[in-house]
Amino acid sequence: MKVHFRRRISRQKYSILYNSFVADIPARKAAGIASVNRKTVNRYFTLFREVVLQEAYYERTNISLRNGVEIDESYFGARRVRGKRGRGAGRKVIVFGLLKRNGNVYTNIIKSAEKQAVMPIIRRVVQSGSDIYSDGWRSYDALAVYGYNHKKIKHTKSEFAREDGTHINGVESYWSWTKRRLAKFNGLTKEQFRKYMLESEWRFNHRNTLSIDLKKLLRKLR
């Protein structure tokens, strides 16, 4: 994917748009702040977003997590269909996440939350022998078989954290943050959803140096 950069607005307005994107301000609001038309904002935001996505795709190919990894799946989209039962039942998109405590997150859209869908991802991303934390979902029961030190928190028994450090608060907080973020962008298509999920992942992984890291990526286009 090739991305081209050419600034056609004043340095001041460009700075406002850049900082608005970094702050995750929607294009409509950014247009008002910078006093430029929406098409101009869309052009620059699309540029910034494509640069981020290109880098995010690259980073995912090299990710390897070990120890203190929390795993969980979350459900995005329409509400559950009445009469449907089961974990995440209904017309929802299922996203599986792995979060290294105090580190990076890795997410994948999956068709189901069953063992055959999640275990290959875990085995590819998490080093064998690592501590993995999850809830009591049955798909994770095979973790010990593959050489992981599996620690479960039982939400069904109103258990959310144990004194030995067993919890999945980190990945659950990531889901909450991501859903609040996506709520700002109404009516995402299926393809847009994939891109915005990947962007959320990159933003989280670069949360402490986001502005600096994006500037470095943009300099390569000049």
Domain ranges of the chain: 11-62+207-219, 69-178
What is the pLDDT of the chain when averaged over all its residues? 88
The second-level CATH assignment, the architecture, of 69-178 is: 2-Layer Sandwich (3.30)
116 pLDDT tier (thresholds 50, 70, 90): very high
Helix (H) or strand (E) holding 92: strand 92-100
Tokens (6 digits) for 181:
């973020």
pLDDT for 199 equals 98
State what percent of residues in the chain have pLDDT above 90.
76
Q: What is the mean pLDDT of residues 46-74?
A: 95
For the question of whether the overall pTM of this predicted structure is more than 0.85, the answer is yes
Helix (H, G, I), strand (E, B) or coil at 132: strand
- Return phi, psi of residue 93, to 5°: -90, 130
The residue-averaged pLDDT of 159-173 equals 75
Confidence tier at 161 by pLDDT (50, 70, 90) = low
193: left (phi over 0), alpha (psi -120 to 50) or beta: alpha
Q: How far is residue 8's CA from residue 41's CA, in Å, rounded to a whole number?
A: 11
Quick check: 221 pLDDT over 50? Answer: yes
- Strand pairing report for 92-100 and 69-77: antiparallel
Cα 104 from Cα 202, distance rounded (Å) = 9
